[in-house]
Amino acid sequence: MRRKIVAGNWKMNKTFDEAEDLLFGISDELANNSPEEVSIVVFPPALYLELANDVANENNFFTGVQNISEHESGAYTGEISAAMISSTGASFAILGHSERRMYFGETDAIIARKIDQAIKHNITPVYCCGEVLEERESEKHFEVVEKQIGQALFHLTKEDFSKVVIAYEPVWAIGTGRTATPQQAQEMHAFIRKVLAAKFGETAANETPVLYGGSCNAANARELFANEDVDGGLIGGASLKASDFVKIANSF
Ligand code: PGA
């Protein structure tokens, strides 16, 4: 059975005290309502990882980061390496998020190197792909996503690919309140699985978790997660409120 995952991308939000409140809030909510067979992952700003790891370890959830360096170590001021992240006990990294692509010039080639770093240091990459509105409107969305997947993931061996999680995040749905319909999500997720099967085989494709992201919230998660090929969500805005986030995790 494929792993179900609900992941919270906090982005650049929360001061230390607020982060503490949110983490303890999640732990309280989980004490009352902990989903079975769902991996919960929080992605706070990296400087709160130690705190997040402590709370996560006690409450059976996981932590990750929103970015890692494409380099191993050395003179890269301001960067954080995969080895550093791994040494804190965090085990996931969001890579290829559209905000990193748009605002920080990350190309698929850069993202591919980040994925290699993550895998090398036992961090599960959550690889984000998805089209912008214009590409959807001109019906290029399948082509765009296929290309993103090919360029960032197809250099991997089958064994390394088995460690990857994919998040389909249509850019027009991120932070906009405009969610993909369950049909649009299912259609793209099934397509992604087909692309993966052609490269890595049916078994690998069937075992890869494919998450949906983009204005997924406590009100619409259930109908999105009900689809055969939707294995959970990458949640931005709605992950900043503990009760909403845990409700989403209980929406299977
Ligand atoms: P959103 O963000 O849920 O706020 O749309 C999702 C994401 O960017 O991962």
Q: What is the pLDDT of residues 212-227, one digit of tens each?
A: 999 999 999 999 999 9
- Please state, as a whole number, how many other Cβ atoms lie within 10 Å of the Cβ of residue 187: 16
- Residue-wise DSSP of the chain: -PPEEEEEE--S---HHHHHHHHHHHHHHHHH-PPTTEEEEEE--GGGHHHHHHHHHHHT-EEEES---SSSSSS-TT---HHHHHHHT--EEEES-HHHHHHH---HHHHHHHHHHHHHTT-EEEEEE---HHHHHTT-HHHHHHHHHHHHHTTS-HHHHTT-EEEE--GGGTTTS-PPPHHHHHHHHHHHHHHHHHHH-HHHHHHS-EEEESS--TTTHHHHHTSTT--EEEESGGGGSHHHHHHHHT--
Atom of ligand 1 nearest to the CA of 94: 9
Q: What is the pLDDT of residues 26-74, one digit of tens each?
A: 999 999 999 999 999 999 999 999 999 999 999 999 999 999 999 999 9
Atom of ligand 1 nearest to the CA of 239: 3
Contacts of 10 (CB under 8 A, 6+ apart): 19, 22, 42, 43, 44, 45, 66, 239, 240
pLDDT exceeds cutoff 90 at 1: no
Taking the C-alpha atoms of residue 234 and residue 228, their distance in angstroms, rounded to an integer, is: 17
Residue nearest to atom 7 of ligand 1 (CA): 236
Taking the C-alpha atoms of residue 67 and residue 134, their distance in angstroms, rounded to an integer, is: 26
Residue nearest to atom 6 of ligand 1 (CA): 236
Percent of the chain with pLDDT over 90: 99
177 CA → ligand 1 middle, Å: 9
pLDDT exceeds cutoff 90 at 92: yes
- Give the pLDDT band of residue 149 (cuts 50, 70, 90): very high
Quote the domain boundaries for residue 137. Answer: 4-249
How many structural domains comprise the chain? Answer: 1
b/e 36-71 (16+ beta carbons within 10 angstroms → b): eebbbbbbbbbebbebbbebbeebebbbbbbbbbbe
29 CA → ligand 1 middle, Å: 21
What's the CATH code of the domain at 45? Answer: 3.20.20.70
Atom of ligand 1 nearest to the CA of 238: 3
212 CA → ligand 1 middle, Å: 10
Which residues carry out catalysis?
Answer: 97, 169
Q: Is 23 exposed, middle or buried (0-12, 13-18, 19+ CB in 10 A)?
A: buried
Query: Any residues with Cβ below 6 Å from ligand 1, and which?
Result: 9, 169, 174-175, 213-216, 234-238
